Amino acid sequence: MEIFWFIIVALVLTIFFILDGYDFGTGIIHLFFAKTEKDKEVISKAAGLFWDSNEVWLVAAGGLLFMAFPTLYASAFSGFYLPLIIVLWLIIFRAIGLELRSQIDHPVWKTIWDKSFGVSSLLLTLFFGIALGNVARGVNLGGVENGVSAYEAHYFFLPLWNSSFSPSTTHPGVIDWFTIVIGIIAVITLAIHGANWIVLKTNASINTKLKSVVFNLNIALAVLTVFSVSIWHIIEPHPLDNYLEYPAFLIFPMVYFAGLTGTFFVKKFKKEVYAFVCSTLMIVGGITSTLATMFPTLLPSTNNINPDLTIYNTTTSEYGMSVAMPWMIIGIILIIIYFIIQKKLTAGKIDDMDYGH
């Protein structure tokens, strides 16, 4: 039952990063490449028409995590309190940037909210990547100092960063050189995903240019992927053990590299959707590869005193999971119905659709 709920939570989170990921990427492209008012307006639509339905999956993931793995939920939401508050404010400013830009037809007004949308999207992507880096690196569970826990074994506290900026210190910060690398990988990946989404859904004047941007970003992503894998042993001495124990897990990195390889052909694809499928495969493969590497751990402990948080020691009771099953099914069905209706209403190119007026 624990494995089932782990798969469900992982699936919902992955769907969120696929769907809201293109919103984040659209904001990054908007920030750096949208120069004319027409492009700014249509690229804003490419995110604005979809962001609210896409973020429903984040709410669903949080609810499922609280229901199935309450100990992990309590641990993560207390230990990562500061970055979570930052993420909350960034989500707010990203949303109001989209919703308010067209309320007043004045260049200064639009510039303010364009920057709000773009900068918030960039920082959100960076922080979500840093969050993945923290999960992979682990935290000092129990706040162990000199072999003694300062508080309960499943709690921790992280400053935003520490003076050493090292992932190997006793009390690591949220931001260190390792998590920054993962954050940059996330920014590049979602920028590629967002660019592919803009090309798929709009007739923006920069679409041809964006294909070259995607190609160049993919080169940087390939280099950073190799680099991150090469430094992985610094964080985890035996990073490939799970792949040796469970050879079926190899499908996940294969999915990632299939997407990465396919994206190099972005200029040759006859159908725009192919590039979007490739960047989707990169997101799916990247997240699942990380989870497969850690399984069954959910949050590693960087000390030898308190154990890792796993799917087995953070889960709720069997009774609780069985009672939650029908409600989970009902909730997922409602979200899917909402999602299908919304996508049907916004099918095809969205250049002439009304938003924000």
Using one digit for the tens of pLDDT, what is the confidence trace for 228-245? 988 887 887 777 888 888
Its pTM stands at 0.93
Any domain includes 276: yes
Q: CA distances (Å), 178 to each of 75, 127, 161, 185, 235, in order?
A: 22, 13, 12, 11, 9
Any domain includes 292: yes
Any domain includes 339: yes
How many domains would you assign to the chain? 1
Which residue range forms the structural domain that includes residue 102?
2-345
How far is Cα 10 from Cα 27, in angstroms, rounded to an integer? 25
Is pLDDT larger for residue 10 or for residue 150? 10
Average pLDDT of the residues in 313-327: 87
Q: Which H or E run includes 49?
A: none
Contacts of 294 (CB under 8 A, 6+ apart): 135, 136, 242, 300
The pLDDT assigned to 113 comes to 93
Average pLDDT of the residues in 32-48: 90
Max avg pLDDT among 58-67, 166-175, 210-219, 240-249:
210-219
The pLDDT assigned to 324 comes to 86
Give the distance from CA 72 to its chain's centroid: 18
Neighbours of 147 (CB within 10 A): 8
pLDDT category of residue 226 using cuts at 50, 70 and 90: very high
Any domain includes 353: no
Any domain includes 211: yes
Any domain includes 354: no
Exposed / middle / buried, residue 60 (Cβ in 10 Å: 0-12, 13-18, 19+): buried
Average pLDDT of the residues in 285-298: 92
Any domain includes 258: yes
Say whether the peptide bond before residue 300 is cis (omega within 30 degrees of 0). Answer: no
How far is Cα 303 from Cα 36, in angstroms, rounded to an integer? 53
Average pLDDT of the residues in 92-99: 90
Any domain includes 18: yes
pLDDT category of residue 211 using cuts at 50, 70 and 90: very high
